[in-house]
Amino acid sequence: MSCLSGRKTGRTNQLRFTGTVAFLALLAAAIFLLCPAHVEAVADPEIIQWRAYQNADFLNSLFMGVLGRGPSPDEFNFYITRDLSRNMGRGEAFWSLVASQEYANRFGSAQGPYQVRWKHRETETDMGMRWCRCYFFTKDPALSGGFTAVMQYLGVRTPWESYSFSVARAVTRMYAHYDQEVCPHYDCGWGAGDSAIFDPPDRNTNSGGGGGRNHVRDPHFTQFLSGTIWDNGQYSRFGFWWNSGNANSQATVVNLGENRPPNSSASTALYLVNNSGRSPHVFGSTSQRINVRKGARYTVSFWAAARNLASRGAVNIAVDLQWNIRPVSMDAGSYGWTFFSGTFTAPDNFVDLRIIFEDRGEVWITEMKLMDS
């Protein structure tokens, strides 16, 4: 009898416990739905084009990256009149948005426990070993080491001492883009307590390139050296990498390992080096012909890193047979993984998506996309 009573009592307690858990779960769901919590975030810090050549491109990417929307006409007119051609002006526009009431209502405070720091690293270049600065963010600067970012290296001010996680990601990228002595790929390596720029925890997100189908075959260039996908279109007799004139440039494919662009699954990239200075009809080039709809709008995008690019437009993307429509030009200098994109109207029922290398330097390119705009 006592055993039977024990089983009955145990089952009753179990039912009561299960019912309590179910009630609490429903209560928690109701609270969540009725009282949405703030999320410490920036909508997508990876898409902010800190080095965009056109101020309008920077401004549109800034609003999308911070607030997840484009600027209104009044906002656009207000910000575009500021000096966005300088690092200081672009930095001030960023601080203005993350300090806005709209940002606070959507994401909460932009301030948090993460500090943005820099370290000196020695890196090997064609000119020998040199010192450079790399940027990272951390919760524990005493454990991570490094130094606080300073304006004389960056041209932008630092209004707060610490940030939320996603704001720290955006600030790290901004500082790394604007420091002229930044290390290749922004690489700080791995240290205790570091949150390196290449290791955001939300790798399940997909940044850049828009939605829909990617029309580019072999976007990571894994089959580049086979010459079956990437060639030179109407100039295919020159092979998959064409040196025009007396150009001295080379193309190959490299494994990225852990040194991938943010949120990317790419394991390979196209590595290009050009030892020829800018001169008429002197360049290296490759292309891929892609069927499109004439008159439709498309966006071409990719991730790239550069070392010692001699001039802006040293690397261009052209899409027409005459190479006049060039929706993307890479910036000069040395910088880590940077997202580039540009839109165009298809002039024919196909495009020759062409990479043109016209000045000295080294670049790494991957995640090449052509998407419907």
- What pLDDT, on a 0 to 100 scale, did the predictor assign at position 35? 39
Q: Using DSSP, state whether 158 is helix, strand or coil.
A: coil
Q: Is the pLDDT of residue 42 over 60?
A: no
- Alpha carbon of 43 to those of 39, 73, 98, 173, 363: distances in Å? 10, 20, 11, 15, 28
pLDDT band at 30 (very low <50, low <70, confident <90, very high): very low
For residue 33, what are its two tokens?
């739905």
Q: 5 versus 118: which is more confidently predicted?
A: 118
Q: Which CATH number describes the domain made up of 224-372?
A: 2.60.120.260
pLDDT tens, residue by residue, 326-355: 999 998 898 888 888 888 999 999 999 999
- Is 47:60 a contact under the CB 8 Å cutoff? no
Going by C-alpha positions, the residue among 242, 353, 362 that lies closest to residue 314 is 362
The CATH 2.60.120.260 domain(s) of the chain lie at 224-372
Q: What is the pTM of this model?
A: 0.47
Going by C-alpha positions, the residue among 119, 97, 123 that lies closest to residue 110 is 97
pLDDT tens, residue by residue, 174-231: 888 888 777 765 545 433 333 333 333 222 233 333 446 789 999 999 999 888 889 8
CA–CA gap between residue 242 and residue 104 (Å, rounded): 52
Q: Is the pLDDT of residue 15 over 50?
A: no
- Is 240:230 a contact under the CB 8 Å cutoff? yes
- What pLDDT, on a 0 to 100 scale, did the predictor assign at position 9? 39
Going by C-alpha positions, the residue among 209, 371, 170, 372 that lies closest to residue 302 is 209
Average the pLDDT over each of 4-8, 124-128, 181-185 and give the range with the smallest value.
Answer: 4-8
- Is 352:322 a contact under the CB 8 Å cutoff? no
Mean pLDDT over all residues of the chain? 77
Contacts of 232 (CB under 8 A, 6+ apart): 238, 239, 240, 242, 285, 286, 287
Q: 6 versus 280: which is more confidently predicted?
A: 280
- What pLDDT, on a 0 to 100 scale, did the predictor assign at position 83? 80
CB atoms closer than 10 angstroms to residue 231: 21
- What pLDDT, on a 0 to 100 scale, did the predictor assign at position 268? 92
Q: 85 versus 268: which is more confidently predicted?
A: 268
Left if phi > 0, otherwise alpha if psi is -120 to 50, otherwise beta: which for 81?
alpha
pLDDT band at 109 (very low <50, low <70, confident <90, very high): confident
CB atoms closer than 10 angstroms to residue 368: 26
Left if phi > 0, otherwise alpha if psi is -120 to 50, otherwise beta: which for 218?
left
pLDDT band at 234 (very low <50, low <70, confident <90, very high): low
Q: Is the pLDDT of residue 4 over 50?
A: no
Segment 20-40 shows an average pLDDT of 43
Backbone angles phi and psi of 313, in degrees to 5:
85, 10
pLDDT band at 37 (very low <50, low <70, confident <90, very high): very low
CA–CA gap between residue 343 and residue 367 (Å, rounded): 16
- Is 199:359 a contact under the CB 8 Å cutoff? no
